[in-house]
Structure 1
């Protein structure tokens, strides 16, 4: 309702000029003014639609500007936290950061395409940040992957990440113990590490960063200085291509 009222005010600028000064209206003139707005909008509904579209464009532009400021103000924690897994091409010209929840259906759906894009491109630095927010299984899965990385290294972590992304089954201690063994890791050590302060610190710092960035859902992507709250209509490839072009021109 607020957006519609604001749009109506914007639409007044498209109306023919009235014969009185709006700043000094009498009660009758105010009533006439209101009736004139209503009559005009009823006769020209496209004006209201156009005004609402202008408001939406302004809102999106303001959000994008604010998101860029958030990225700039938190760049060290985003791109160089010292603990997140880094893959793709570590020396790539574009850095893509993904906040992920292993029980997120959208994360699972985009995972294969994301893998293909990064592999085919060959020049993307990819950073993964566990951000479990959906269920208790989300937290358990994230603790598992972090524990795997700390116990068995980055290669084992990536295999664990892929396995959990591709899995459609439950996440529990039995399934995670089996997965750890399949990865060649010591399942007892991995499971024992899951609830240690070392693992909790990683997740806590990720959540604190997400709160500062106003990230409330997954997947959320940060590509260079831009934040994408979900998968954009143009696709990640389109965003990356545009950012590369802007870097060359800048």
Structure 2
């Protein structure tokens, strides 16, 4: 199993421990994969149109549907609006997701008035450039109102995901799209890489420096970003056996104990670790 190793320089002691990518140096833990989480629960919902008796945040309130119709306090729809509509989830920080599922609403009277699953729909994510793009490699987009419509796709890292819905009806009030619940799942545990990290403080000419060295002990090139309160540096394509290093000038004689952040990105995604360094007075 891949792991992330951190070596923390302390006063007269270099401590090396095996830790998962999200833990802090000095603690030992098994790097077990976490179950995917429904990150929709932490998102803010919005929509192209919402009538006054429902709210957009009903779609991610965690209330699980049991049939084609749900109470107004647990559903969202665009009635009587038809045409192209959308619902959107926004996160305060980026999430990496690759699976989603939607439970639609079916509530149509004998004259065709009411709410129905869309005739077609698709998922889009906001790219790093701030534009919308279709998810790639999606599985089939189902349109049931009696069960989940699950879609898997190539994982994306984003702060926003939206579902574009094409109403099943063309006449106002007939076949407006409705959603009972929308779930979006992350990819479980962050990917882990073999990276040896050392952070330390030292003095040069009466000035304190915080130095960070991250050696790629994995078997594939990695992008390694080093960050401290005194500056940051990113090294791309760090080959196996090579290191990313930077000595950051604190521009002061005294540095309090703190930690450097090392962010490692490879084919499986991104992991992050905190590497502590000791206080120093020069």
**Same fold (TM > 0.5):** no
Greater strand proportion = 2
TM-score by length of 1: 0.22
- TM (normalized to structure 2)? 0.21
Instruction: Give 1 or 2: higher helix fraction.
Output: 1
